[in-house]
Each structure stands twice: as C-alpha cells, then as structure tokens.
C-alpha cells in the first residue's frame, strides 16, 4: 500500500497524520494506498514555509527564475511517462491521455519561461516636464491552488508555473482522489533548483480548503472544480480579503448544423464525449442535432461507439478507462434510468459495453447515448461528468443557439458546419467562454487564457496566458522626477499637466 503525504518547505513531514483518505485503483476497484489529510496546522505550516520563502524568491532575478523554469520543463518532459503512469493508476484514464495532459501542462511551463518578457511594463518619458511614468507588476505573495481529480497534473500546471515565475510562492491542495502526481512534481521542482518553500503541497479535504480560504497570509486562491464548490470558494475566499479565480463545472454543447460533414461531427462527438470517460470539463455532454441530421448522426455515432475498446488505462488496447470511483460510476449510471423515466430513448446502453482485459470489480461504465432528450430532463440540466452523451433535436439554428445560451454554464461549445457565415454568427452569439468551430474540445493554448462564463467561472480572471500573469501580480505605476534646476517650489494644487 502506498502512502502519500504533504510536501512542506522542501520535504515530506515525518509522523502520523490524524486523518487519511483511501486512494483507489479504478481499474481493479481496490484501495491502492492512503493519503494524509491536512489539518489546519499542516496548512499553517505550508503557508509559513511559503511566506518565509517569498522574500528571497521575489528578489531572485528574472533570468534566474527563467533558468529554474527551463530546468523544471526538461525534468517534467523526461518524467512524462512516470507522471502519466501515476495518473492512470489513480484516475483511471488511458496512458496516452494521461501523457497528453502532462504535455498540455508543460505548455504552460514553456509559456512561463518567457517571464522576463511577460513582466515588461510600460514607460512614458516626460508625462510632465521633467517627469517620467512607468508601470510594473509585482507578485502578490503566498498564493494557493485547489484542484480537481480529473486533471491531476495539467490543472495544477495551469497555475503554479505562472505564479512562481511571477515571484510568488505556492501552496497546492490537489484532489485527494489522485494525489501522487503533485508530489512527483514537487520533487522535480526541487531537482530543478527551486528554493525550499516556494512550492508546497498539502493533501486533504474541506478541512484543508477552509484553512486555506481563511489563512491571513494567503493572498490569492485559484480553484478548479465543480460549480457548488467553486461558488463556495469564491464567496469564502473573497470574504476573507483574497483575490479568487474559481472555475466551475460545465455542460458543453456541440451544435451540428444541417450542412455539417456528419462523419467529422460523429468522430468529434464520440472523441469529445467519451475521451477520458467523459470526465473532462471540456467534454461534450449535450449534442444538439439541428433538423434533419439527427437520425443519420446517431447511426454514425452508434457505429463508432460499438468499436471502442473499454479497459484498464495501463493496457495499450484501451481507448477508454474506468470512472474514478465506484460511487461516481453509480451516480453517472443512474442518469440512464432517470433519462428513460423522463422520456428519453436509450440509443446506446454503456452498461452492456464489454470490458477488455479488466477486473470485474473495476469502476466500469461504457459509453452511453440518450436520444430525444429535452431541456427539463435531469440528464440535461445536471453536469453528469461521465460517458453519457445527451442528444437533443433542434428545429432550427435559432433554437440550437437558444439551448446553448439558456444553459446556466458557459465553459465550452462547438459548432459543426461547412458554412463560414453561420460559424461566424455562432461565434458572435454564443454566450460561452471558449468556442470551437469544427473543433470539439477548444481548449486554448497556454498563451491564451482558459475559462468559462456564467456558472463556469466565479471571479474576473481566466487562468494562464496574459490573464494568469495579471491574476498573480499587482500593477503599480510610478511617477518620478529627479531634481533638476527648474523645480518651482511649493504648490498645493492637484498635479495636472498644464
């Protein structure tokens, strides 16, 4: 049985934790290890280590910070397979998908390597005669990240490379369901030359999260997870005077217009609906088929789903792994009966999908499609976060856009069409933060910012890219005059430029 513990001030603390959580292997259903749950004292210790490291780290030159980031980038690249194996073992996703999330996280590290350029301010000479003005951005201090189970490497890497590059020190509270990747990342930071205390990890549940949200020395919190917890983190963190960005859940629509390439659309719906067993915040979970394409599209989806191999993530044959826990699998499966009970048609029942090479006690659920779903059904109103695709039939483009914009969520959306004008109109009209045109999972690259609208994000700032730099820094504008022979004596008037 493995034992996962915290990383505070450059080491794992010795001694017994008061509380633990089980870490499962989703492919076997067995408990594979235990993770220590932090108390408020553990969080205090991590925050103290981060606060102590801050003064020196913010004084380290941009060139040296960039060197550490380059070294970290190389180490993560070299350990991609090892990280991916840890993720597969605890999350269940297939190895190629786990490696893919490490690669997308690395892109943020690579973006952060450009920190000397990213922190450049502006300078205006002679804003008044003999007076110059310039702007600088400074780190906010100790910052924290609280992250979900579904991307145990990538989502933390949306946050800490940029925070650390900007001169902050960091406390990460990863998901207790798959905690191991964060510890390997901590060791790689140390090997890359990051001073002790700049990056810390505390594991745990609500106790650790509340201690972070109430801690007087933690200046900013980035959160990614479900909408109810995102709202709670935003409200509690801001009530304690913190800067908070809290990314929540999603119900991502894919609209297929009548002129779309239906093979492309079917490939996309299956890939984006069932990749990572639908446990992606950018997964497609509502497919809106604009009349008359519904029946043909469903037939093409059925063809493709029938050929998918579901099995253990570590098995190279597998295209889709198990769900993360037994209770989550059961909850996801419950939407199938609920959907049928509310009038939907079960076009594909994932409970019958064969599992190739898997232990029967694993948390399996194959890909499912509910057809003729209507907006009041729970399979449509709820974020299911599993391999269940709900198909809605819309009579027109306007009705399809109405569905998209009627959703309380606003994370991602995709439109499939061969008509540039329709696509352009859709991009303009969709009230959603990230839009794909013939691209089903429009996750922005690291140098753009990731984030949804409405109940998918609380706060003003999206993650990574320029908005990430802004979130982890505070702006300052300096107006300076160096004595010259022409200063004019006392003047009590407000400084204006005459």
Tell me the window of 127-135, 148-156, 284-292, 394-402 that interacts with ligand NAD (CB under 6 A). Answer: 148-156
Shortest distance, CB of residue 229 to ligand NAD, whole angstroms? 4
Total number of residues that touch ligand NAD (CB under 6 A) = 27
Alpha helix stretches (DSSP H) within 60-197: 62-78, 80-91, 95-112, 115-118, 154-165, 180-192
Instruction: Check residue 351 and report its DSSP letter.
Output: G
CA distance 103 to 87: 13
CB of 213 to ligand NAD, least distance (A): 8
Q: What angle do CA 230, 431, 423 make, to 5 degrees?
A: 135
Single residue of 226, 378, 405, 438 touching ligand NAD by CB under 6 A? 226
**Distance between CA 408 and CA 89 in Å, rounded?**
34
If you count DSSP H runs as helices and E runs as strands, how many of each does the chain have, helices first? 16, 21
Question: Of the listed pieces 54-62, 97-105, 218-226, 465-473, which binds ligand NAD according to CB under 6 A?
Answer: 218-226
Q: Residue 64 or residue 206: which is nearer to ligand NAD going by CB?
A: 206
Q: Which residues pair with 458 in a beta bridge?
A: 246
- Closer to ligand NAD by Cβ: residue 171 or 250: 250
* Residue 493 burial (CB count, 10 A): 6
To ligand NAD, the closest distance from the beta carbon of 249 in angstroms equals 3
Question: What residues contact 62, with CB distance under 8 A and at least 6 apart?
Answer: 115, 116, 119
Q: Which is nearer to ligand NAD, 409 or 472 (CB)?
A: 409
Neighbouring C-beta atoms of residue 415, cutoff 10 Å: 29
Among 179, 321, 362, 452, binds ligand NAD (CB under 6 A): 452
Pick the stretch among 98-106, 112-120, 224-232, 348-356 that binds ligand NAD (CB under 6 A).
224-232
Residue 229 makes contact with ligand NAD by CB under 6 A: yes
Which of 113, 166, 281, 379 is labelled catalytic? 281
Q: If DSSP codes are grouped into helix, strand and coil, which group holds residue 438? A: coil
- Shorter beta-carbon distance to ligand NAD: residue 367 or 452: 452
Residues sharing a CB contact under 8 Å with residue 167, sequence separation 6 or more, in sequence order: 57, 58, 60, 65, 138, 139
Q: Find the residue with minimal CB distance to ligand NAD.
A: 225
Quick check: 166 and 469 in contact, CB under 8 A? yes
Is 281 marked active-site? yes
**Interaction mask 236-255, ligand NAD, x per CB under 6 A:** -----------xxxx-----
Under the criterion CB under 6 A, does residue 75 sit at the interface with ligand NAD? no
Give the helix/strand (H/E) hosting 347.
Answer: strand 345-348
Structure-derived torsion over alpha carbons of residues 146, 333, 451, 87, reported in degrees to the nearest 10: 50
Name the residue nearer to ligand NAD (CB basis): 104 or 302. 104
Rounded to a whole number of angstroms, the minimum distance from the CB of residue 432 to ligand NAD is: 12
State the residue for tokens 């890939």.
Answer: 271
Asked whether position 202 contacts ligand NAD by CB under 6 A, the answer is: no
Is residue 456 near ligand NAD by the rule CB under 6 A? Answer: yes
Alpha carbon distance 213, 194 (integer Å): 25
Q: Does 385 interact with ligand NAD (rule: CB under 6 A)?
A: yes
State whether residue 473 is helix, strand or coil: strand
Residues that bind ligand NAD (CB under 6 A): 146-151, 155, 173, 175-176, 205-206, 209, 224-226, 229, 247-250, 281, 383, 385, 411, 452, 456
Active site residues: 281
């Amino acid at each position: 049985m493995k034992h996962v513990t915290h990383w505070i001030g450059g080491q794992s603390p010795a001694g017994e934790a008061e509380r633990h959580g089980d870490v499962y292997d989703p492919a076997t259903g067995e408990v594979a290890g235990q993770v220590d749950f932090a108390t408020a004292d553990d969080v205090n210790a991590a925050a103290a280590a981060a606060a102590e490291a801050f003064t020196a780290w913010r004084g380290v030159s941009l060139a040296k910070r960039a060197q550490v980031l380059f070294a970290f980038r190389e180490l993560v690249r070299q350990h991609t397979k090892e990280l991916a194996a840890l993720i597969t073992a605890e999350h269940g996703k297939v190895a190629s998908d786990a490696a893919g999330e490490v690669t997308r996280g690395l892109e943020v590290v690579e973006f952060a390597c450009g920190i000397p350029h990213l922190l450049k301010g502006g300078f205006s000479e002679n804003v008044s005669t003999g007076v110059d003005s310039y702007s600088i951005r400074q780190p906010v201090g100790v910052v924290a990240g609280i992250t979900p189970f579904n991307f145990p490497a990538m989502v933390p890497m949306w946050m800490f490379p940029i925070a650390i590059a900007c001169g902050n020190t960091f406390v990460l509270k990863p998901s207790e369901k798959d905690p191991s990747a964060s510890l390997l990342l901590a060791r790689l930071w140390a090997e890359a030359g990051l001073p002790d205390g700049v990056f810390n990890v505390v594991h745990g549940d609500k106790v650790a999260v509340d201690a972070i949200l109430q801690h007087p020395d933690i200046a900013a919190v980035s959160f990614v997870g479900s909408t109810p917890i995102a709202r709670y983190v935003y409200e509690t963190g801001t009530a304690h005077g913190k800067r908070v960005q809290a990314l929540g859940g999603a119900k991502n629509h894919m609209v297929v217009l009548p002129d779309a390439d239906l093979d492309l659309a079917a490939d996309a719906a299956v890939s984006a609906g069932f990749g990572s067993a639908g446990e992606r915040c950018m997964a497609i979970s509502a497919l809106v088929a604009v009349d008359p394409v519904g029946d043909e599209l469903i037939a093409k989806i059925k063809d493709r789903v029938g050929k998918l191999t579901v099995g253990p993530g570590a098995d190279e044959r597998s295209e889709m792994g198990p769900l993360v826990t037994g209770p989550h699998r059961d909850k996801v499966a419950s939407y199938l009966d609920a959907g049928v009970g509310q009038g939907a048609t079960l076009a594909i029942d994932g409970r019958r999908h064969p599992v190739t090479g898997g232990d029967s006690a694993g948390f399996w659920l194959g890909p499912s499609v509910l057809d003729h779903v209507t907006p009041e059904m729970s399979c449509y109103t709820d974020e299911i976060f599993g391999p269940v695709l709900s198909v809605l039939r819309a009579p027109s483009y306007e009705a399809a856009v109405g569905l998209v914009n009627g959703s309380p969520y606003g994370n991602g959306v995709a439109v499939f069409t061969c008509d540039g004008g329709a696509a352009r109109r859709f991009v303009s009209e969709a009230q959603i933060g990230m839009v794909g045109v013939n691209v089903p999972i429009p996750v922005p690259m690291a140098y753009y910012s990731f984030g949804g609208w409405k109940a998918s994000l609380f706060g003003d700032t999206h993650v990574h890219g320029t908005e990430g730099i802004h979130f982890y820094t505070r702006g300052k504008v300096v107006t300076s005059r160096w004595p010259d022979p022409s200063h004019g004596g006392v003047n009590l008037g407000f400084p204006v430029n005459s």
